Structure 1
Amino acid sequence: MAAAASSQQQPVLTYWDRNPPFAAVALAQAANVALQHAADLKATNKTNATLKFPSGEELVGVPIILKFLTRLGAQEGSNLYGPTPLAACQVDQWIETSSQLVSGQQFEALCGRLSDYLSLRSYFVGYGVTAADVAIWGQLQACPLWKKVRQSPAAAHLARWFDHMSSLPACAAAVEDLCPTKKREAAAAADTAAGKGGGDVGSFDVGLPDAQMGKVVTRFPPEPSGYLHIGHAKAALLNQHFANIYQGRLLVRFDDTNPTKEKDEYVENIIKDMQTLGLQYKTITYTSDYFPQMLDLGERLIKAGVLYADDTPVDQMREERMHGIESKRRGRSPEETLAMFKEMQAGSEEGLKNCLRFKLDMQAGNKALRDPVAFRCNLTHHWRTGHTYKVYPTYDFACPFVDALEGVTHALRTSEYKDREAQYYWILEQQQKVWPGLPKVHIWDYSRLNFVYTVLSKRKLTWFVQTNRVDGWDDPRMPTVQGIFRRGLQVEALREFILSQGASKNVTYQEWDKIWTINKKLIDPVCPRHTAVAAAGKVLLTLEGAPASPESSTIAKHKKNAAVGSKTLLKLGRVWLDQADGQEVQEGEEVTLMDWGNAIIKSVSKGPDGQVTGLTGVLNLAGDFKKTRLKLTWLADVPELVPLTLTDFDYLITKKKVEEDDDFEQLVNPTTKFESAALGDVNMSALKKGDLLQLERKGYFICDVPYGGSADKPAVLFSIPDGRTK
C-alpha cells in the first residue's frame, strides 16, 4: 500500500473520537503508508477502531491494525519490525501488551513494569524505534490516567522514553492531526523533551534541510588512527539517532586517507566499539575503496583548471596561506600539472616534492578557502592497499565526493569544522561539474563534546599510550569507549547522556559527574551487594554469644530486588572490621553488625601508634538497630575470604580546561592510579570479568580480573564513580 496510492484504493480507519488511534496514524506516517481516517459519529466506548478496505474486508482492533501497517511498511523499506525475525516477534508481543494499557487498577502497576524494563534500554526492541514503541506510546497518549502516573518516580524511565517518542515527527504529527485541542500539550511535551521542562532527552527538532521521511542517509566516518573516544561516540549515536528519527539509514565509512597513522588494530577495535554502541548499519565501506575514482576525478579537475601542482616547501606554504600570498606555482598550466600528477602517482623524486592544491581564493578571510591541498604524496605502506598508491587524497577532497557518491543526504559534524563548511560546498560543486550525477549533500553541525580535565585529541591520547602513562587504549583512565566501559559505564547511560544534550550547537565543557550519576541510576537497582574489609589495619572483633564455628545462612544480594539472587552469609565469633570503624567505636557502645544484629562493645585495644589492635563484645540480637549510631560491615574470620585489589583512578590532566596553546605534557597528573588490598566475602570468588557490584559502604565496582584461587591472584575491582564522590 504505497503512499502514492489513490484515495479510492486506500483503506479508511474509523474510531471513537474520544479514543483516537494515535499509534496507527503515527505508524502509517513513519512507514510511509497512505491512510485515511475519520471519527465514527455513531461510535461508543465499546467500539473498536476498524480499518475498512475498498473490497469490503475489515481489520478490527488496534493491535491487528498496527501489525498490518507494520508489515505494509516493511514492503516500503521501513525498519519498524526490527532487523531480525526474532525482533519482529518481539515487536508483535509488545503490540499485544500495549492493548493492556487502559485506565484501570492495573494501569499504574503495568507502567511501573514498563519503566523498569526501560531502565537499561532506550527502546523496547533493539536500538531504534520500532512499531513496539509506537504502539505503547499511542496507548499512553490516549490514556487520561497517564498524565498523573507519569509524575510517579516509579515511572521515571517510561516518562523519559515517552517524552522522546512525543518529540518524533510522526508522533507529534499524529497528535496534531487527531486531537487539535491537544496542540498545547504536545508543545509542552516537546519542551520537556528539549530540556526546557526537566526531561532527559534533548531537542532534535533542528529542521534538517530537505529531510524526507524514509530517505535521510547519515554517515559515521571514523579515521582508523586510534580507538574511538567518547566524542566519537556522540557523533556515532547522533548520526544513528537522526537516521532513526527519519526512518532512514546510517552508513559507516572508514576515512583511511593517511597511511602514516592508520593500523589494522584501530579498524578492528573501532568495529568492536560500534557493535558495543549498538550502531545499525548493513555494510562498512572505506574511502580507499574509491581511490581509483578519485585519481580520475583529480585528472578531470586539473583539466578544468581547478587544481594545480605546487612544490612550495610545507613551512613556506603554511606561511603564505596565513598571509594570503599566492604560490608562484599557481599559474601552472593544466598540461604541466597533469604531467606532474603522473610523477606524483609514480612516486618519482620530482613528484614527491609536489602536492595538488585547489585554485580557490587566497584573499579569503576564511583561511580554509586559501587554496587547500587536494592530494599529497606518501610512500608509507597503507594498511589496506599496501604500496599500490604513492599519492593520496586529503580529507577535504575525499569527504564531499565520497559522501555524494554513497548517497549521504546529511553530513553531521562538529561545529569546530564550521569554517570549513563553505570549503566543503565549493569543492563538491567543482566535483559535480566534472562528475555528472553527484547529488547535493547538506551539512548540519553540532557542538563538540568536551569534558573537564580531559583531552580528546587522538594525537595526545596516542602520546599517553606510547609513553606508557596508561596501560593501553582501553585503560580505564582513558576517555575511549573501551576505557569508560571498562571503568563500569553502561552503554545505555552513555546513550542517555548523549541524547540529553540533543543537537545543540552550544560549546560547553561537561562535568563527568553528570554521566556517572545517570550510570548510577541504571546500575543501582541491579547491582548485587557484597562486603569487603580493607586489609591494612583490619581489626578482629571477638564476640561472646556468637557461633564458635561458621554458621551459614542465605540472604538476598539486593534487598530491594529479589531477581538479583541470593548469597551466603557466614556468622562466627571472630569477625573482621575496617580500621576506620575500629577507631569510631567506643567501649560500652551498642553497634549494629549489618545483616546480623546488634552487639555491645566491651573493650577497645590500641597500640602505641593509636591503631586499634583488637575489640571484644557481646551479641545483643534483641537490640534495636534504629537506636545505634554505627552500622558496621564485617566479615567472618574464615580462610575462604577472597583477596581483592581495589583500584581507584584520578584524571590524567591537572587543568580543568586545556587550551590549544597549552603544553599539555606539563599538565599531566603524575599519580593517577591507586590500589589497596582488601578481603571480600566468600561469594566474590564467583565474580566474572565485567560483573558489577556494590561493596557496602565503599561504593560501586566492576570486576576487571576474577579471583585466581590464591592470595597472589586476587580479584581486581575498579571503582565506578557515582557522580558524588570526589
Structure 2
Amino acid sequence: MPPKLEQAFTFRLFENSSDTLPLGPNKGGALRFVYPFNSGFLKGSGIDAKMVNGGSDLFTLDPATGMGYTNVRVSFKSVDAQTGKSDGVFVMTYQGVVKVDEKLQLALSGSPEAKTTSSEDHYCVANVAFEVSEERHKWMEQTLFVGHGHAYVPGDGSAAAEYEAFEPLDLKKLQQPIGELDNHLTLRSYIVGHEVSEADLDVWKALRGNRVAFGYIKGGALVNLWRWFNFIAETEDPTIEQSNKPTKEAADEGASYDIGLQGTENGVVTRFPPEPSGYLHIGHAKAALLNDYFAHKKYNGKMILRFDDTNPSKEKEEFQDAIVEDCKLLGVKPDQVTYTSDYFQDLYDRSVQMIKDGHAYADDTPQEQMRDEREKRIESSHRNAPVEDSLAHFEEMKKGTKEGVKWAIRAKIDMSSNNGAMRDPVIYRCNPEPHHRTGSTWKIYPTYDFACPVVDSVEGITHALRTTEYNDRDPQYQWFIKVLNLRGVYNWNFSRMNFIRTLLSKRKLTKLVDAGIVWGWDDPRMATVRGIRRRGMTIPALQEFILKQGPSKNINTMDWTTFWATNKKYIDPVAGRYTAVVKADYVKCIVTGAPEAPQTEEKDLHAKNAELGKKKVVYSKNVLLDQVDAQSFAEDEEITLMNWGNAIVRKKQYSPNPSNVAGTDQQTVTSLELELHLQGDVKKTSKKITWLSEDQELVPITLYDFDYLITKDKPDPEDKLEDILNHDTETKVEAVADCNVAALKEDDIVQFDRKGFFRIDRAFKHGESVVAFQIPTGKKM
C-alpha cells in the first residue's frame, strides 16, 4: 500500500510503444530502452500542468531478476486556474524501480485485453524531484517526493505511467516509508542494483536534508537503514573539511563516480568538444574536468580535445588558442587535439550517402517556418522529393551559389515523433564565409548534431559524456550511428553547472563583451575560467569544487557561497597579511609613547605560516587610521592597535561641517591623539584597529569589489539581456598600503587586515597605483 503521507499531486505520462528505441545491453547484460512520452499532465493542490516538448524514460531491464529501473525527464507548463494562462515551466525527473511482470507488459502493450494495474502489483516506487522557474513553485524544488506508480489503461489503445506523489511532513508520517526502506535494505547494500546509483544519492540527500528523518535514523533503531546511510555518507558527504587535497582525493571524498559506465572493460576514450567561438566558462570547465577524470583517473584511458569548428561565422583562432591554454590551466591534459574540420570530406561523403539511401533530403523552407512546422509536426514539401533533386541542391550548396545558400540538408527521421530532436533536424548548412582553418575550400558545414556522433565513432570515442540538456538528442545521436552503420558509442549525461545571477550562454557573454559592458572575456565579473581566476579563484579550489559535484544528473542552481568558501580554504593559509587605509578622509593621529624616530621591525607575513617570510612594520608617532574607525571611538576608550598593542583615545577633533563619508551623519574626524598603553590586555578591548605609520613609503592602491552582472537569480530564456542587466557592478576605493605592497607581483593573493582577501591585478609601478580585486569568501558575493 502507498505510505500514509499527504498526497501532493498525481501525474500521468502517455507513451507509444511503437516509438521505443532499443539501446542494447549494458556491461551486466541488462537491456536498455528509450520510451518517449507523447503527452501527459500533472495535477495537485494549487497546480495544473501539461507536458511540453516531449520527454522520455531511459529504462533498464534486468532479465535475471525481472526488475526494471526508470530514469525519466519531462517538461511541464503550468496553467493559472483563474486566467487559464501559462504561469511557469518546470522540469520533473524521477528514478525508480518496478517489477516487470505479465500484468505490466500487457497493460503497456496496447492490447484490447489490457487493464489498469495497481502499484502493489509491481512494487513501482520512485523518487520525484523538480527544477522550477517560478517562485510560486519553489516548494516543489525544495522537496523530494515519494511516488507510487502503476500502468493506467484508458481503453482507447493507449497506456500511461501514472503516479501518486506523496510529501513526507512529520515523523509519524515518515515512520512507515522509512520502515519499508529499512526492510528493503535487509539483504541489500544498495537501493537498486549492485553499486551506488542515482537512487542511493537522491534518497540519501533527501533523508539527510530532512531534520526529522535524519534524527530518527540516527537513533539506530533501523539497523539496515543506518548501515546503508553511514556507508553512503562515507563516500558521498559533500562537506569539505580539508584543503590542499589532490584532485582525485577531492573526487573520492565527494560525489560518487561509480555511475556504472557500460563497456569500460575494453578501455575508455572520452572527448571534450568545445566550439572555438568564445572563452571557456565554468560550465565548460566541469565538462573538461569530468571527461579528463573518467579517462585518466578513473579508467586509465584516453581523452581527446576536439574543436567543433563547424561555424566559420563565429570562430576565431584566438578562441582556439585560449581554450588550449585554459585546459592547460585547469590541469586537463588531452592525449590528442583534433578538429571536426579534419573530417569535412568524410562527413560530406556520408551525408551524400544518406541522401542516396533516403535518410536525408534538401530543403529550402525558411528558418522560422521550418521551426514552426517542426513544432506542429508538419512535413516539409521537399521531404519526399527525388534523390536526384536533393543531390543537385547539395551540389549548389557546396559551390556556395546564390541558389545554394537558400538550401539546407535535413535528416529524414520521424516528423511525428514526440521527441522534437527527431523531427528531421538540419545536418548541413551553406555558409560561403571563409573558415579559419580550411579557408575557402568548403562552403558547406555540418551541424553539431550530425558531426558529433560521426566523428565520435571515427575517432574511437567510447563514451560521449555531456550535459543533461542533450537528453532528448541522445536518441537522435544513436539514430545517426545506426543508419550510418557506425561503431557504437555510449551516451552519459551529467547536470550542467548553474549559478544564481550568472550568465553561461556564450551568445549572451559575447554580447556583453562586444557591447563593452565588461572589460573582456577575462573580466572578473564574467563566469569564464579566466574571469573567475582573475577574480581570485585558485585552480586547485576550482578542481575540487567541480569534482565534488560529480557526474550526477540532478539539476540545481547553486549559490556562489560554497564555491568561494572552497577557495578560501586554499588561500587563507598562504595569503600574506598586509595593511591598507582608505585614502578618503583618513585620520592623522599622534601617538604619545611611540618612538620619536621611526623604528622598523620584521614580523611574520602570516602569524600561522612562518614559511611565507617576513614583512617590515614601521612604528612611529605619526599614524593613519580609517575614518570609519575614528568615528567609532569615544574619548578615554581603550583600543588595540593591531601588531602593536593597546592605546587610549585622549583627544578627538572634528571638522565644523557634517559629512557622510563614514556612512553616518556624524562630523568628520580630522585628528586624534592616542596614548600607548602597551601593558593593557588586548583580550579586553572590543576594537582591534588597523593602522599605518606615515613615516614609510606608502603605496597607492585601488581596491575593487564587484557585484553580479544580472539582477535575476534564474533568468528565463525569453528574458532580454538589457532588462536584467545590473548597471552598478563595480566599486572601487582609493587607499594607501604599507611599504611591503610595493614588492607584490601580479596574481599574488594577499589579505589586507580587516578588509578581506585580494588578488593583485596590477603590480606597483612608480606613477601608477597597485590594482587589487577583492576575492569573495563565501560570506558574500
For Structure 1 versus Structure 2, the TM-score category normalised by the shorter chain is: 0.7 to 0.9
Per the alignment, in what secondary structure is the counterpart of residue 231 of structure 1?
helix
* Per-residue CA distance 1:294-321 (angstroms, 9 max, x = gap): 1111111111111111112222211111
* Alignment check: 8 A CA contact 1:543 1:574 kept: yes
Residue 779 (structure 2) pairs with residue 724 (structure 1): yes
Paired residue type of 2:310? T
Q: CA RMSD in A?
A: 1.8
Partner of 1:296: 349
Question: Contact (CA 8 Å) 2:303, 2:336: kept in 1 or not?
Answer: no
Q: Which stretch of structure 1 is more off in the superposition, 188-197 or 346-355?
A: 188-197
Q: Which amino acid aligns with 1:674?
A: T
**After superposition, what is the alpha-carbon deviation per residue over 1:188-222, rounded to whole angstroms, capped at 9, x for unaligned?**
55542222787851111110122227x11111000
Gaps of 5+ in 2: 1-194, 198-225, 242-252, 659-666
Which whole-Å CA distance do the structure 1 matches of 2:751 and 2:365 have between them? 62
Task: Answer whether contact 1:589 1:601 (CA < 8 A) is retained.
Answer: yes
2:506 pairs with 1:506 = no
Shift of 1:353: 1.6
1:205 and 2:258 correspond? yes
AA at the equivalent of 1:221: P
- Alignment check: 8 A CA contact 1:588 1:601 kept: yes
SS at 2:617's partner residue?
A: strand
Report the counterpart of residue 271 of structure 1 in structure 2.
324
Residue identity in the other structure for 1:310: D
Letter in 2 for 1:575: V
Residues 696 and 739 in structure 2, CA contact (< 8 A), matched pair in contact too: no
- TM-score normalised by L of structure 2: 0.67
Matches within 5 A, 1:242-261: 242-243=294-295, 244-261=297-314
CA contact (8 A) 2:618 2:696 kept: no
Measure, in 2, the Cα distance between the counterparts of 1:645 and 1:488. Answer: 16
Partner of 1:239: 291
- Would the alpha carbon gap of residues 323 and 416 (structure 1) be closer, same or farther in structure 2, given more than 3 Å must change? same
Supply the distance in 1 between the matched residues of 2:230 and 2:270 (Cα, whole angstroms): 29
Distance 1:632 1:318 in 2: 64
Amino acid at match of 2:710: I
1:221 pairs, out of 273, 296, 300, with 273
> Alignment partner for residue 195 of structure 1, among 237, 252, 256?
237
Instruction: Report if aligned partners of 1:194, 1:502 keep a CA contact under 8 Å in 2.
Output: no
Helix, strand or coil for the counterpart of 2:710?
coil
Conserved? CA contact 2:196–2:256, under 8 Å: no
C-alpha distance after superposition, 1:407-454 (max 9, x if no partner): 11100111111111111100111121xxxxx32100000111100001
2:606 aligned with 1:558: yes
Cα distance in 2 for residues equivalent to 1:673 and 1:187: 46
Deviation at 1:224, TM superposition (A): 0.7
Aligned residue for 1:611, secondary structure, equals strand
State how 1:105-254 maps to structure 2 within 5 Å. Answer: 188=230, 191-195=233-237, 200-212=253-265, 215-243=267-295, 244-254=297-307
Equivalent position of 1:325 in the other structure: 378
Measured at CA, do residues 634 and 198 of structure 1 come closer, stay the same or move farther in structure 2, by a change above 3 Å? closer
Q: Does the 8 Å contact 1:658/1:664 carry over to 2?
A: no
Shift of 1:187: 9.0
Q: How does 1:380-529 map to 2 (within 5 A)?
A: 380-432=433-485, 438-529=486-577
Tell me, in whole angstroms, the C-alpha distance in 2 between the residues paired with 1:295 and 1:606: 80
**More helix, by proportion:** 1
**What is the alpha-carbon distance in structure 1 between the residues aligned to residue 404 and residue 715 of structure 2?**
40
The answer to whether residue 403 in structure 2 is matched with residue 353 in structure 1 is no
**CA contact 1:191–1:197 (8 Å) conserved in 2:** no
Work out whether 1:700 is the aligned partner of 2:757. yes
Shift of 1:336: 2.1
Secondary structure of the residue aligned to 1:525 is: coil
Q: How far apart in 1 are the matches of 2:309 and 2:425?
A: 19
Local SS of the residue matching 2:573? helix
Instruction: Name the structure 2 match of 1:600.
Output: 648
CA contact (8 A) 2:712 2:724 kept: yes
Does the 8 Å CA contact 1:552/1:571 hold for their aligned counterparts? yes
Instruction: Mark the CA change 1:633 to 1:395 in structure 2 (over 3 Å): closer, same or farther.
Output: same
Give the distance between the partners of 1:417 and 1:263, measured in 2 at CA.
25
Distance 2:238 2:525 in 1: 33
Are the aligned partners of 2:355 and 2:387 in contact in 1 as well (CA < 8 Å)?
yes
C-alpha distance in structure 1 between counterparts of 2:401 and 2:511, whole Å: 33
Q: Tell me the amino acid that sits aligned with residue 716 of structure 2.
A: E
Q: Is 1:613 the equivalent of 2:687?
A: no
- The whole-number CA distance in structure 1 between the counterparts of 2:740 and 2:196 is 46
1:678 pairs with one of 708, 726, 735: 735
2-side partners of 1:256 and 1:686: how far apart?
44
Tell me the equivalent position of 1:635. Answer: 692
1:537-573 CA-partner distances (Å, limit 9, x unpaired): 1011101121222211000000001111110000010
More strand by share: 2
SS for the counterpart of 1:284 is strand
Question: How far is the alpha carbon of 1:664 from its aligned partner?
Answer: 2.6
- Asked if 1 retains the 8 angstrom alpha-carbon contact of 2:624 and 2:691, the reply is yes
Letter in 2 for 1:378: N
Q: Any gaps of 5 or more consecutive residues in structure 1?
A: 1-166, 170-183, 433-437
Contact 2:238 2:548 in 1 (8 A): no
- Cα deviation, residue 504, structure 1: 1.1
Q: Deviations over 1:483-529 (max 9, x none)?
A: 00000001111111111111111110010011100000111011100
Distance 1:364 1:663 in 2: 31
Partner of 1:624: 681
Letter in 1 for 2:302: R
Given residue 234 of structure 1, which amino acid in structure 2 is its aligned partner?
Answer: K
Q: Is the 8 A contact 1:168 1:245 kept in 2?
A: no
Give the partner amino acid of 2:467. Answer: T
Amino acid in structure 2 at the alignment position of 1:204: Y
Give the Cα–Cα distance (whole angstroms) in 2 for the partners of residues 667 and 353 of structure 1.
36
Deviation for aligned residue 1:186:
11
Q: Distance in 2 between matches of 1:274 and 1:483?
A: 14
Q: C-alpha offsets along residues 364-390 of structure 1, whole Å, 9 cap, x if unaligned?
A: 111111111111100112111111101
Q: Secondary structure at the match of 1:604?
A: strand
Q: Cα gap change, 1:557/1:486 in structure 2, threshold over 3 Å: closer, same or farther? A: same
CA contact (8 A) 1:195 1:203 kept: no
Q: Secondary structure at the match of 2:483?
A: helix
- Please report the TM-score for the alignment, with normalisation by the length of structure 1: 0.72
The one-letter code matched in structure 2 to 1:365 is N
Aligned amino acid, residue 752 of structure 2:
L
Aligned pairs (5 A) from 1:573-592: 573-592=621-640
CA distance in 2, matches of 1:280, 1:615: 59
Letter of the 1:569 counterpart: V
| Alpha-carbon distance in 2 for matches of 1:606, 1:212 | 78
- Amino acid aligned to 2:578: H
Shift of 1:607: 1.2
CA contact (8 A) 1:310 1:329 kept: yes
| AA aligned opposite 1:607 | S
Cα distance in 2 for residues equivalent to 1:323 and 1:700: 55
Amino-acid identity (%): 49
**What is the aligned counterpart of 1:339 among 380, 387, 392?**
392
Contact 1:307-1:359 at 8 Å conserved across structures: yes
Q: Distance in 2 between matches of 1:641 and 1:318?
A: 64
Q: Can you list the C-alpha shifts for 1:96-154, whole angstroms capped at 9, x where unaligned?
A: xxxxxxxxxxxxxxxxxxxxxxxxxxxxxxxxxxxxxxxxxxxxxxxxxxxxxxxxxxx
Q: Distance in 1 between matches of 2:617 and 2:320?
A: 47
